[in-house]
Structure 1
């Protein structure tokens, strides 16, 4: 993935209530404690808790240094920190994995528990989806753990359609889980 294309895909986005900022080392401090303490978050996502603040800083610094590309440079990895305009608090993130064919093979998001149910995930996921489509992404795929109906509603609001069940597609807390696959075609 060319660095210029990856940078365009990861550029900042503004919505009525949020700023979506390309995530980097400076965001680590604001995210570390919520990622450690928000147990409800890990009910639906398979990413592990960061091992330390320094490890999170290093991870996001390296992502920025790679210009929001995968370690091998083949994929764009736009990742945005969600910052609420009303008070400047960081409330979650949106990320995607973009192939050289400009397909989003994975769109993901989370909002910390105190901010769930307020429409922030829908606003952020919708804005990221529209940005990616405006930058040439023609097909977007997202997966949701079966049972996570709130996340399915977020994707519906962003124009995604349910496609199929993917048996055993993810492992959460050591348990194999089925996922719903959702698609959006530009």
Structure 2
């Protein structure tokens, strides 16, 4: 028996959220067998000028934008030194003020950040998103998974969803990296199709308060002209 069939639409009602996402309100983009759900009404409420707010339902996860009231779920998942030490820009100790600030950030429709929740019970599994790289026209994939959910394939599942969303948004290439003492993230990136660039760089870790060696990866989302000609 194959995996359960995903619904044609996703219907969500979030406590204290501005609206309930319902059947008549959503737009559906089908991509590689997945449903990417957009909601223009919510985009207007949040003030995004271009693009649409994206929701994604994979086999076990529901990826949605982070709302201010999600700060407790974020804090519960990331307030763990074993999680934070593997991230570049997250401080340690991580407290309520950090979580509130993160959950209250404005949504960028072209560099979305998602709260990854377990579809069966809405438990916060982690966060994943796309970020602009300062000073360069580059897009970086970043994520964290709460420790109770390590080793269950959630990072790979969420990563595949966000890579698909990046393609729909028109991004041509993604970058990512991991600290050398966190090889598990390297395995996830390879499963997503990222390739090592061969470069080892010094990247600052806010949590550790020092520079840490990191391996860089790249994933091309759009084939080059030479590759297209060879394929033809």
TM-score by length of 1: 0.81
Aligned ranges 1:9-158 → 2 under 5 Å: 11-36=54-79, 38-46=80-88, 47-49=90-92, 52-61=95-104, 63-64=105-106, 67-68=107-108, 76-98=110-132, 104-158=138-192
Conserved in 2, the CA contact under 8 Å of 1:50 and 1:56?
A: no
Shift of 1:49: 4.2
Higher relative contact order (CA 8 A, sep 6+): 1
More helix by share: 1
Q: Which region of structure 1 is more displaced relative to structure 2, 88-97 or 51-60?
A: 51-60
SS of the residue 1:147 aligns to: coil
Q: How many residues in Structure 1 have an aligned counterpart in Structure 2?
A: 171
SS of the residue 1:48 aligns to: coil
Match of 1:185 among 188, 209, 220: 220
Conserved in 1, the CA contact under 8 Å of 2:81 and 2:92?
A: no
Shift of 1:156: 1.1
Q: Aligned-residue CA RMSD in angstroms?
A: 2.4
Q: Extract unaligned runs of 5+ from structure 2.
A: 1-46, 222-232
Provide the rounded CA distance (Å) in 1 between the counterparts of 2:139 and 2:204. Answer: 15
TM-score by length of 2: 0.66
Provide the rounded CA distance (Å) in 2 between the counterparts of 1:183 and 1:107. Answer: 10
Deviations 1:54-82 (A, max 9, x none): 55224422x23xx327xxxxxx4411001
Conserved in 1, the CA contact under 8 Å of 2:77 and 2:147?
A: no
- Counterpart position of 1:176: 211
Q: Extract unaligned runs of 5+ from structure 1.
A: 70-75
Provide the rounded CA distance (Å) in 1 between the counterparts of 2:181 and 2:124. Answer: 26
